[in-house]
Amino acid sequence: MKIGLARETFPGEHRAALVPASIPPLVKAGLEIIVETGVGKAAGYLDEAYREKGATVADRAAVFAADVVVQVRALGANLEHGITDLGLMRRGQTIIGLCDPLGEPAAAQQMASQGVSLFSLELMPRITRAQSMDVLSSMATVAGYKAVLIAAEALPKMFPMMMTAAGTISPAKVFVVGAGVAGLQAIASARRLGAIVEAYDVRPVVKEQVESLGAKFVELPIDTAGAQDKGGYAKQLDEETLRKQRELMLKTVAANDVVITTALIPGRPAPTLITADMVRAMAPGSVIVDLAAERGGNCELTHPGRTIVDGGVTILGPTNLPATVPFHASQMFAKNVTTFLLHLVKNGKLEINVGDEITRDTLITHDGEVVHTRIRDLLHQPS
């Protein structure tokens, strides 16, 4: 069976879905690997390194002639440029990658029409057995780390306390909203730089994790029962609870130099947690890094993909931070993809066993149809 590794065409996407170190375990499993020329160059992985590990380097047409094609961004997550790959796909082929099926279900329908089996890495179940395949957690780790670095660069203060002959430098104060994987990594990174860190999450169960990293957990007197789904994700709060949450959070936001927001609800626009009034209560020179910018943003004033200044407060809306750390982001992504491939492959062949939770939850299209119940609902197709 042939596995094709396609070069990314989404603007600014520098990651590769597999790195040279991924090749030997796949070859050992009886697979032949074909990688597109230049696939890893932007991440620091040259064609020769793939060849040395046992892969064949070829053009895009040869990659899409493979039985399975792996990408960081498949069509749904790369609408403008990914559409050109549809003509290269064929019935019975398998595509694996990020494809935003909850946000762009029509793209899944297009791929179903081509007869391909599409696996969406975004829908990897949050179960112990799937942790080593969870690309969202891996990429959130990178994003949380990088968010602190860009905040430190934009802030006109230094993060650590310093005792110098010119006087004492007070440490910066950082407030992290959302203590999932990205938030916890942001907390850890800000603490390493010497900042005083506070964090808030609607899920009280994360308090112990926040405090274990040396941050203070901000507790707000609101009812957050049922704020977490069975997969461990935060659930959408009703508008009245969100309003009360914003009111209570105002004082904390205003007292901090940096606010990093990470709150995302799968398949929905990001909740607005930081209002314009809250921004204008912050001191001039303060910084907000909105990691939910790609879904509209947690800050009311966020402009996805742009940096703006409002009342002296800098608001950054990065939309693909993991791609700015492509070497290690690719390494982590590739480990997840390799593990997922080895999960699907039995005796050198791909087996689609929908009785397995990991396979069933990530399979979007098969045999010319959209088969994932949630995506069928979004497309108004009977389940």
Q: Which one, of 252, 107, 106, 87, lies nearest residue 97 by Cα?
A: 107
Q: Are 52 and 23 in contact (CB under 8 A)?
A: no
β pairing state of 196-200 and 173-177: parallel
The C-alpha atoms of residue 340 and residue 96 are separated, in whole angstroms, by 9
Task: List, in order, residues 6 or more apart from 315 with CB less than 8 Å away.
Answer: 279, 287, 288, 290, 299, 301, 302, 303, 307, 308, 309
List strand residue ranges (DSSP E) for 37-78, in order: 56-58, 68-73
Q: Which one, of 345, 336, 330, 332, lies nearest residue 27 by Cα?
A: 345
The C-alpha atoms of residue 117 and residue 115 are separated, in whole angstroms, by 7
Q: Which one, of 93, 91, 176, 180, lies nearest residue 134 by Cα?
A: 180
Q: Are 17 and 326 in contact (CB under 8 A)?
A: no
Which residues does the annotation mark as catalytic? Answer: 126, 131, 134, 137, 233
β pairing state of 313-316 and 287-290: parallel
The C-alpha atoms of residue 371 and residue 373 are separated, in whole angstroms, by 6
